[in-house]
Amino acid sequence: MRLSQLQPGQSGVIKEFTDLEMSVKLMEMGCLPGEPIVVERFAPLGDPMAIRVSGYQLSLRKNEASTIILQ
Amino acid sequence: MIGDLKVALVGNPNTGKSTLFNLLTGLNQKVGNFPGVTVDKKTGYCKLSDGRNAEIIDLPGTYSLYPKSKDETVVFEVLADYNNSSHPDLIIVVADASNLKRNLLLYTQVADLKIPVIIALNMMDLANSAGTEINVQQLSERLGVQIVCICARKGENIEVLKQAVVHAPGIALQTDTIEVESLAPGLITKIQDEILVDKPYTALQLAHQHENLGFLTPQQSNRIEELEKEYSFHSSKAQAAETIARYNFINDVLFDTVKFKLEAEGESLSNRIDKVLTHKVGGFAIFFAILFMIFQAIFAWSEYPMTLIENLFSWLTATAHQYLPEGALTNLLIDGILSGLSGVLVFIPQIAILFAFISILEDTGYMSRVTFMMDKIMRKVGLNGKSVVPLIGGLACAVPSVMSARTIENWKDRIITIMVTPLVSCSARLPIYTLLISLVVPDTKALGFINMQGMALMGLYVLSMVSAILVAWVMKLLIRSRDKGYFIMELPIYRMPRWSNVGLTIYEKVKAFVFEAGKVIVAISIVLWVLASYGPSSSQKAIDEKYNAPQFSQQYSRDDFEALKASEKLENSYAGLVGKVIEPAIKPLGFDWKIGISLITSFAAREVFVGTMATIYSVHNDEAAEDSVREKMRQAVNPETGKPVFTFAVGMSLMIFYAFAMQCMSTLAIVYRETKSWKWPAIQLGYMTALAYLSSLLVYNLLN
């Protein structure tokens, strides 16, 4: 399951990343393996999305979210 | 002023770092340049209780020392290079207590550079209301640094922080965070030895960033590259390992010192606001209502103060002419410099109003939502969600709008926005359009209700928006960028705006415009003034003699006499000569040398076209000037063909020319200021002039 496949309100736990370079940026922003994630909403046009991770709201594009594999 | 102590503020975006900077320095701040990047270098001074004067440097907000953009490289350059003029003796890391974990990542990186450091823990109130309990004493002991809890918003504990700066140790006492050497065994020691850096973590950062660091010599950078190959160093893998190690350390520390509430109760206020503001329909409706309000404000509210400034300057000009002795110096002072100054100051109301709105939108957290909502459409054409604000602002005036592109973090998005904003039809084009439309477009109704003149005007506005989007799309393909197109962005919680910040932002933007772009504007306007009021002395003398002859002054009324003389003087000025010289080049567009002169003088500002036309067609300086200009232009006959000069084809061609041409020195000056180089204004002038020329050529030949 990839993060981009979740619907608003659904949650998951980060397992791993498919893109090394992207993973570095995501981890800096607190998206670490083992960290729980909740999808809060999608932008009105369906992309990007807003997620809650380590206590704050982060927005990222769907293609970026698709590099995050959930447990 | 020289500081006894240099203190750098470092922190994530949205942590209140700038608010703290304002609190520490007040109005005692100045804006300078970091070489090679477009972020401003903000420094200020703060008097300490022991009599020392601390120089405070506000470094760009960043989530880590690994830069995502060129602008963020500044943070590491300043902190790592001992010879950098901003290299601090002490770092204050500003951390958001309600988001401690992510904020501590940057702290642990900074701490490992082994420069003395203090943590200013901001937003404790937010952390407390979210149920987070931080044992500050214990946290301070674990990290080995002073931690001062502040509330930047309310200005609380700033004195305590200043006291901490006074008592800060001269050497770095913070405890080690992670085992840096294990991230690149062997390589780190080798770089330390060969490049002569004393701190292991600085050496590791050099391995990652050496290609982008200005303070390394090419030999040093090449040597590091060789060493990396030798030790098979993989930058991304090492960064990932480092980030995981740092978060492990942080989790360890926080486990002992902070109690998090397990379950968040109910829905946060921010979330409920977001449901409305980013709603599929309502969200866009609210956003466009806000844009409309901003546009109205810069268009309508600024009119009164702008007229006031212009009237003040015409009064000054008149009074000065009355009291100062006649002569070249007086003319330079009044007609050259004073009118140049007026051209600078007249922008202040628009800049102030636009930035009042923008700083409120930024401060409340709404601006991030604008990016969030608009990203999908705007990124298709190479723009950013935030580009919408400059583009709409451009309908009023490109100058403040180009400045407002500063809110766009991504370098490429920002450059493209700056490059296309002047294409949007600004209010200075309106006088030209109304004059020419009333001249060449018949005042008839199509289908009984569509006014043709109105249609023409609307067409020009639509054309301007479409061309801005098309050019942006082309530039997206042409401009290369080292910045990666990440979107990963924090959505800060909604907060009330801080009015003192709004005031300071306005002050700072107006100051930057007046002192930096203003110099260029005054210089160019003096050149243009000289061109238009002086000419080869022989021909000017001949005109003076001709008009001094008694038969002239008797033949015409005083007004006619002055108007005729001014017209002939302009025709024989340097601008007139240039107008005639370029006539062959602009003839294919349907323009004669009179229009050529206006093209030159209206480089100062597009609306000057109307005034120059009035002078050339020797119209009196009175109330009905525009009507009489129109009449004279209508009657103007081409001496070669005997037909009217301003045919439909010429009028349309001229309007298309003004729609695309970069006929505005103030915009060029502000683009120079915002991009910190002449390269971008030169490209902009080049592409817009080419676009204008080719489009006019096409239009003229199709219609003629």
- Confidence band for B245, pLDDT divided at 50, 70 and 90: very high
Partner residue facing A54 (CB), from B66, B101, B368:
B101
Among B624, B617, B691, CA closest to B658: B691
The helix (run of H) or strand (run of E) holding residue A36 is strand A36-42
* Span A22-36, average pLDDT: 93
Residues 23-62 of A with CB under 8 A from B: 23-30, 32-33, 40-41, 43-48, 50, 54-61
User: Which region among B484-498, B523-537, B624-638 has the lowest average model confidence (pLDDT)?
Assistant: B624-638
CB contact under 8 Å between B484 and A64, yes or no, is no
Distance CA(A6)–CA(B237), nearest Å, equals 28
CB contact under 8 Å between B373 and A45, yes or no, is yes
In chain B, which residues have their Cβ closer than 8 Å to the Cβ of A45?
A: 373, 376-377
Q: Which residue of B has its CA nearest to A16?
A: B240
CA distance B7 to chain A (A): 25
- Confidence band for B620, pLDDT divided at 50, 70 and 90: low
Span A1-12, pLDDT tens digits? 999 999 999 999
Q: Does B249 touch chain A (CB under 8 A)?
A: no
Interface-testing mutation among B100, B205, B247, with chain A (most A C-beta atoms within 10 A): B247
Percent of chain B at pLDDT > 90 equals 44
Partner residue facing B68 (CB), from A25, A40, A58:
A25
- Integer distance in angstroms from the first to the last C-alpha of chain B? 65
CA distance A46 to chain B (A): 8
Question: Dihedral of CA B561/B565/B566/B571: which sign?
Answer: positive
Question: Does B125 or B564 have the greater pLDDT score?
Answer: B125
What are chain B's domains?
5-259 (3.40.50.300), 522-703 (no CATH)
Q: Determine the pLDDT at residue B407.
A: 79
Distance CA(B122)–CA(B105), nearest Å, equals 16
Give the list of residues 6+ apart from residue B406 with CB closer than 8 angstroms, or none. B414, B674
In chain A, which residues have their Cβ closer than 8 Å to the Cβ of B99?
A: 54-56
Span B51-77, pLDDT tens digits? 999 999 999 999 999 987 777 889 999
Q: Does B105 touch chain A (CB under 8 A)?
A: yes
Q: Determine the pLDDT at residue B625.
A: 57
Confirm if B375 and B287 have CB atoms less than 8 A apart. Answer: no
Partner residue facing A20 (CB), from B105, B236, B284:
B236
Alpha carbon B698 to its chain's center? 34
Distance CA(B670)–CA(B517), nearest Å, equals 5
Partner residue facing B280 (CB), from A33, A44, A47:
A44
CA dihedral B173, B174, B177, B180 (to 10 degrees): -40
Among B170, B174, B115, CA closest to B4: B170
Q: Does B493 touch chain A (CB under 8 A)?
A: yes
* Span B312-318, average pLDDT: 89
CB contact under 8 Å between A43 and B487, yes or no, is no
- Does residue B263 surpass a pLDDT of 70? no
What is the residue whose two structure tokens read 């003389």? B565
CB contact under 8 Å between B373 and A26, yes or no, is no
Instruction: Tally C-beta pairs within 8 A across A and B.
Output: 103
In chain A, which residues have their Cβ closer than 8 Å to the Cβ of B377?
A: 45
Interface-testing mutation among A17, A28, A41, A58, with chain B (most B C-beta atoms within 10 A): A28
Distance CA(B194)–CA(B187), nearest Å, equals 10
Radius of gyration of chain A (CA): 11
- Confidence band for B672, pLDDT divided at 50, 70 and 90: very high
User: Which region among B331-340, B457-466, B518-527, B613-622 has the lowest average model confidence (pLDDT)?
Assistant: B613-622
Give the list of residues 6+ apart from residue B559 with CB closer than 8 angstroms, or none. B620, B622
User: Which region among B16-20, B36-40, B61-65, B281-285 has the lowest average model confidence (pLDDT)?
Assistant: B36-40
- Does residue B483 surpass a pLDDT of 70? no
Confirm if B456 and B467 have CB atoms less than 8 A apart. Answer: no
CB contact under 8 Å between A28 and B243, yes or no, is yes
Confirm if B382 and B475 have CB atoms less than 8 A apart. Answer: yes
In chain B, which residues have their Cβ closer than 8 Å to the Cβ of A24?
A: 66, 236, 239-240, 243
CA distance A11 to chain B (A): 14
State which of B21-35, B392-406, B440-454 shows the largest mean pLDDT.
Answer: B392-406
Confirm if B641 and B688 have CB atoms less than 8 A apart. Answer: no
In chain A, which residues have their Cβ closer than 8 Å to the Cβ of B270?
A: 57
CA distance B687 to chain A (A): 33
Other Cβ atoms less than 10 A from the Cβ of B445: the count is: 13
Alpha carbon A48 to its chain's center? 11
pTM as predicted = 0.85
User: What is the pLDDT of chain B when averaged over all its residues?
Assistant: 88
CB contact under 8 Å between B279 and A44, yes or no, is yes
In chain B, which residues have their Cβ closer than 8 Å to the Cβ of A29?
A: 63, 102, 488, 490
* Span B434-460, average pLDDT: 85
Interface-testing mutation among B63, B102, B205, B483, with chain A (most A C-beta atoms within 10 A): B102
Q: Determine the pLDDT at residue B623.
A: 46
What are chain A's domains?
3-70 (2.30.30.90)
Confirm if B354 and B337 have CB atoms less than 8 A apart. Answer: no
Q: Determine the pLDDT at residue B266.
A: 58
Q: Determine the pLDDT at residue A28.
A: 92
Span B154-199, pLDDT tens digits? 889 999 999 999 999 888 889 999 999 899 999 999 999 988 888 9
Distance CA(B165)–CA(B150), nearest Å, equals 14
Span B368-389, pLDDT tens digits? 899 899 999 888 888 888 898 8
What is the widest separation between alpha-carbon atoms in chain B?
101
User: What is the pLDDT of chain A when averaged over all its residues?
Assistant: 93
Q: Determine the pLDDT at residue B676.
A: 84
CB contact under 8 Å between A28 and B64, yes or no, is yes
Buried b or exposed e, range B398-426, using 16+ CB within 10 angstroms: bbbbbbbbbbbbbbbbbbbbbbbbbbbbb
* Span B417-434, average pLDDT: 91
* Span B549-560, average pLDDT: 71
Q: Does A15 touch chain B (CB under 8 A)?
A: no
Confirm if B629 and B612 have CB atoms less than 8 A apart. Answer: no
User: Which region among B25-29, B63-67, B676-680 has the lowest average model confidence (pLDDT)?
Assistant: B25-29
Partner residue facing A24 (CB), from B102, B240, B373:
B240
Other Cβ atoms less than 10 A from the Cβ of B228: the count is: 19
In chain B, which residues have their Cβ closer than 8 Å to the Cβ of A61?
A: 375, 487
- Confidence band for B619, pLDDT divided at 50, 70 and 90: low
Distance CA(A17)–CA(A15), nearest Å, equals 7
CA distance A69 to chain B (A): 16
Interface-testing mutation among A39, A57, A61, with chain B (most B C-beta atoms within 10 A): A57
Span B639-650, pLDDT tens digits? 777 788 889 999
Instruction: Check residue B446 and report its DSSP letter.
Output: E
CB contact under 8 Å between B487 and A59, yes or no, is yes
Percent of chain B at pLDDT > 70 equals 96
Span B90-112, pLDDT tens digits? 999 999 999 899 999 999 999 99
- Does residue B594 surpass a pLDDT of 90? no
- Does residue B493 surpass a pLDDT of 80? yes
What is the residue whose two structure tokens read 């809110």? B407
- Confidence band for B147, pLDDT divided at 50, 70 and 90: very high
Distance CA(A52)–CA(B271), nearest Å, equals 11
Residues 358-387 of B with CB under 8 A from A: 368, 372-373, 375-377
Q: Which residue of B has its CA nearest to A22?
A: B486
Percent helix / strand / coil, chain B, rounded to 5: 65, 10, 25
